[in-house]
């Protein structure tokens, strides 16, 4: 952020931003909830899918690393991992360098769930975008860039 942007941000009346902030929060949560319904396995919880997605994007993790990444307790993550393992979506193997640690990895089936869920969610967004005007799609593209910056704060 440049010093001019910082000065502008500091001069904003926060009382004027409250309605916009609430509207953005509500719209974001409604959209996220709608996207979450587009999944490859209907019985899979959001927490379980988040673990599969983390392993897909970031590679194998220990239980503690997964718990930290998802901001849950180790016992809670252990229950999630047990369920995913029983369903055949992940494997546990001994760490090559430290036999006390267990490394959790995706199986081909787990990768398939992530791929299919992403495909379904992208298809839903594409269909929703197709119903908008070109100007609305441009506005959404600009808003997505801004939201990315907000999320990176």
Q: In this structure, are residues 109 and 84 in contact, taking their beta carbons and an 8 Å threshold?
A: no
Question: How far is 69 from 128, CA to CA, in rounded Å?
Answer: 31
pLDDT, tens digit (0-9, with 9 covering 90-100), for 28-75: 999 999 999 999 999 999 999 999 999 999 999 999 999 999 999 999
Q: What is the pLDDT of residue 2?
A: 56
Question: What average pLDDT score do residues 128-151 get?
Answer: 96
> 64-96: string of b/e by CB count within 10 Å (b at 16+)?
ebbbeebebeeeebeebbebbeebebbeeeeee
pLDDT, tens digit (0-9, with 9 covering 90-100), for 79-96: 999 999 999 999 999 888
SS3 153: coil
Q: What is the pLDDT of residue 17?
A: 82
> Domains of the chain, with CATH numbers?
16-151 (1.10.10.10)
Task: Count CA atoms closer than 13 A to 43's CA, side-chain side.
Answer: 3
Q: What is the pLDDT of residue 18?
A: 87
């Amino acid at each position: 952020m440049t010093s001019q942007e910082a000065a502008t941000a500091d001069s904003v009346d926060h009382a004027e931003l409250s309605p916009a902030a609430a509207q953005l929060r509500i719209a974001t949560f409604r959209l996220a909830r709608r996207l979450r319904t587009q999944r490859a396995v209907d019985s899979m919880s959001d927490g379980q899918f988040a673990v599969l997605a983390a392993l897909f994007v970031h590679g194998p993790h220990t239980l503690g690393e997964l718990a930290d990444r998802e901001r849950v307790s180790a016992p809670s993550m252990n229950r999630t991992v047990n369920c995913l393992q029983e369903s055949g979506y992940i494997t546990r193997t001994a760490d090559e360098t430290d036999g006390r640690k267990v490394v959790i990895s995706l199986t081909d089936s787990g990768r398939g769930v992530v791929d299919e869920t992403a495909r379904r969610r992208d298809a839903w967004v594409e269909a929703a975008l197709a119903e908008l005007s070109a100007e609305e799609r441009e506005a959404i593209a600009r808003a997505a860039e801004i939201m990315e910056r907000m999320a990176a704060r």
